[in-house]
Copies of this chain bind each other. A is one copy, B any other.
Amino acid sequence: MLAEAATPEVSPVSFREAFSVSTEEECPAVTGARCSGCRLRPVCLWSGLSEAAERELGSLAFAHRRLKLGQALYRSGEPFQAIYLVRSGFIKTVVLLEDGREQVTGLYMPGETLGMDGIASARHASDAIALEDGDVCVVPYDRLEALSREASAVQRHLHRLFSKEIVREQRMMLLLGSMRAEERVAAFLLNLSERFTALGFSPSEFVLRMTREEIGSLLGMKLETVSRIFSRFHKDRLIEIEGKHVRIVSSAGLRRIIGH
């Protein structure tokens, strides 16, 4: 029944098709593509730039970097050079404790920006790991700084980006600090549903790109707890789940769980 989950209902194209690694035509590797043709334009840093400003900046073309599953975009301690806009694939960020424990601090989908944690100390404070093959747009930070001084639209967008990340992390603290495991999982599923919707995919049917262990780390619980809660939600007809394919049967029911 869930076999077709990979082909979202509301969208005429599959996720993989729509956000697959670009062909050479539309995305020459190192020289970078013109932003004007990019499908991520509506969510991109550069939207809102006046045409004049765009023309002025002949350099509005950035290198792309491809990532294979498991590959690191950057690692904690590495010199900070750029921030990254996800073009395709999912990326997780991970913070490590000396004794080896790790916390997944973020999950980034196409159109989302990561890497801002590196500005403070000129070194990245987390690892960014690809959860599947994909690619990112590399935005060199020094150029961004300069541009943000020249074009106030860029500045405003950049500051909003910083602030959004702060708000996202606040919400995550709320989740980790004051919700029970069941509520966290419900909130996680509803959040994914929203974000898939924003990308034009089904709100109710999608593929988790993380293992139970990674989900557990993001939500501050053990993989067994994640598994048990998925099973319980399934039994209670709130979701259907088969491995990583999820279908939300009752988003109202999930919302009710958070309401306690």
Contact = CB atoms under 8 A, between A and B. Distances in A.
B166 A162 contact: yes
Contact of A166 (B97, B160, B165): B165
A173 interface: yes
A7 interface: no
Given A167-B120, A173-B95, A178-B97, A145 B155 contact: yes
Nearest to A173: B105
A169 interface: yes
Interface stretch (A111-119, A197-205, A231-239): A111-119
A187 to B, nearest CB: 10
A251 interface: no
A45 to B, nearest CB: 14
A34 interface: no
A119 B170 contact: no
A166 to B, nearest CB: 5
Interface string A138-155: 000000010011101001
Contact of A120 (B97, B150, B163, B217): B163
Contact of A117 (B117, B148, B167): B167
Given A178-B102, A220-B177, A160 B97 contact: no
Contacts of A169: 166, 169-170, 172-173
Main secondary structure, interface of A, reads helix
A218 B177 CA distance: 8
A16 interface: no
Given A149-B155, A166-B169, A177 B120 contact: no
A25 interface: no
A126 B170 CA distance: 9
B99 A259 contact: yes
B95 A171 contact: yes
Contact of A99 (B120, B219, B260): B260
Interface of A: 95, 97-99, 101-103, 105, 116-121, 125-126, 145, 148-150, 152, 155-156, 159-160, 162-167, 169-174, 176-179, 217-220, 259-260
13 contacts: A95-B171, A98-B259, A101-B179, A116-B166, A117-B170, A118-B163, A119-B163, A120-B167, A145-B156, A145-B159, A166-B169, A169-B170, A173-B176
